[in-house]
Amino acid sequence: MKIIFAGTPEIAAAVLKTLIETQQNIIACLTQPDRPQGRGLKLTASPVKEVAIQHNIPVLEPVSLKTADAQQLLIDLHADLMIVLAYGLILPQAVLNIPKLGCINIHASILPRWRGAAPIQHAILAGDTETGITIMQMDAGLDTGSILATYPCDIDPTYTSADLYNKLTTVARHAITDALNKMQHSKLLAIPQNNSLATYAPKIEKAHAKIDWHMPAIEIIRRIKAYNPWPVAFTSFMQHTIRVWQAELVNDNKLNAQPIYGAPGTIVAIDKIGIQVATSNGIVRLLTLQFPNKKAQSAVEICHAHKELMINSHFISHNVYELFFNYGVY
């Protein structure tokens, strides 16, 4: 079976490696064009392109698949199947019709839950305890095609998006191997999605990562986890924008009595682990923070390093653990 693979980021590169290792006949790879990256804005190939080049697989990098020229390149390949994972371009119906067996998508959720661009982040934001990989027959809609197979997995409550991304990469590698084996033996049954159960996972923007301390503590914790490693949750303190990489819920009924400790965003205590901040319902302990142009540090290290800030702001204290007391983040 002649296969075109379409994908761009690391998860797609990992799946491509699995397809190569299992001796699937990958006749070409579609991926996004080289993009400027890093401080020097050096043009950088996508992870999928790098893997394809290593294995002498032809690479196609069209800016759009809507043109007749781009579609003719695909027609000339005479492919049986296209496998799509986080490619980054919409496939028009004309492209979906080119392979003999159509196009299948590897989607990072159990559809119809979390259709769209950011299913991993939205699963964590919602506090889901389970997600997985769906192998789907693609149609012209947004993740609306019939389901060929699903491969569920648990979401550990400690997971960040990075953790879940890594877990789903492993699941995806198994899923596509299993699904192709079943497809070749005619053991896959296409089941239409129940559209009434659909939820959507729109693209994440940087502005979404600003912490709103008026939200309940549990929701703030989920946001911090969901936006790690990108765009990273952030808040403001003493005219600085601080990135919050890690935090936890303070599980103490006395400490979570919000009226005792003040308005949401008030720093109510500093302990040997981190900085405790009041919310609308509960206390969040900040564990790992990052000031502008600095590396990420533990909250306790930052408290020690910025003692002089509090003195200059007339918050003079003889105890380092009181330095931030009653100072607000917002």
Summarised one tens digit per residue, pLDDT across range 230-253 is: 999 999 887 889 999 999 999 865
Residues of the chain scoring pLDDT < 70: 252-261, 306-330
CA gap 117, 108 in Å, rounded = 9
Q: What pLDDT does 254 receive?
A: 54
Domain with CATH 3.10.25.10 in the chain: 206-322
Q: What are phi and psi of 310, to 5 degrees?
A: -70, -35
Cα–Cα dist 147/165, whole Å: 21
Q: For the chain, where do the domains classified as CATH 3.40.50.170 start and end?
A: 2-197
How is residue 239 written in tokens?
């005219």
pLDDT of res. 219: 97
CA 43/CA 10 separation, integer angstroms:
17
For residue 96, give the 3-state DSSP assignment.
helix
Please give the pLDDT value at position 88: 92
Chain-centre distance for alpha carbon 294: 24
pLDDT for res 300:
87
pLDDT of residue 302: 84
d(CA 25, CA 18): 12
Residue at token pair 């693209």: 203
CATH architecture of 2-197: 3-Layer(aba) Sandwich (3.40)
Residue whose tokens read 């929701």: 219
- Tokens 């990992």 locate to 14
Instruction: Please compute, for residue 266, the number of CA atoms within 13 A of its CA located in the half-sphere on the CB side.
Output: 16
Q: Which residues pair with 216 in a beta bridge?
A: 281
Beta bridge partners of 29: 5, 59
Is cis: bond before 202, omega within 30 of 0?
Answer: no
Q: Is 292 helix (H, G, I), strand (E, B) or coil?
A: coil
What confidence score (pLDDT) does residue 123 get?
A: 98
Q: What is the pLDDT of residue 79?
A: 98
- The pLDDT, as a whole number, for residue 322 is 40
Q: How many angstroms separate the CA atoms of 178 and 184, rounded?
A: 10
148 and 103 Cβ atoms separated by less than 8 Å: no
Strands 233-237 and 81-85: unpaired
Superfamily of domain 206-322: Formyl transferase, C-terminal domain (3.10.25.10)
Question: Cα–Cα distance between 27 and 70 in angstroms, integer?
Answer: 16
Instruction: Note the pLDDT of residue 41.
Output: 86
| Residue ranges in 79-232 assigned as alpha helix (H) | 93-96, 119-125, 161-184, 217-226
pLDDT at res. 307: 58
CA distance 110 to 102: 21
Task: Scan for tokens 């491509």, then name that residue.
Answer: 16
Q: Which residue has the tokens 């919050």?
A: 244
**pLDDT value at residue 316:** 26
What's the pLDDT score for residue 310? 38
Which two three-digit tokens encode residue 36?
């400027």
User: Under the phi-then-psi rule, with left for phi > 0, alpha for psi from -120 to 50, and beta for the rest, what region is 293?
Assistant: left
Q: Are the C-beta atoms of 97 and 78 separated by less than 8 Å?
A: no
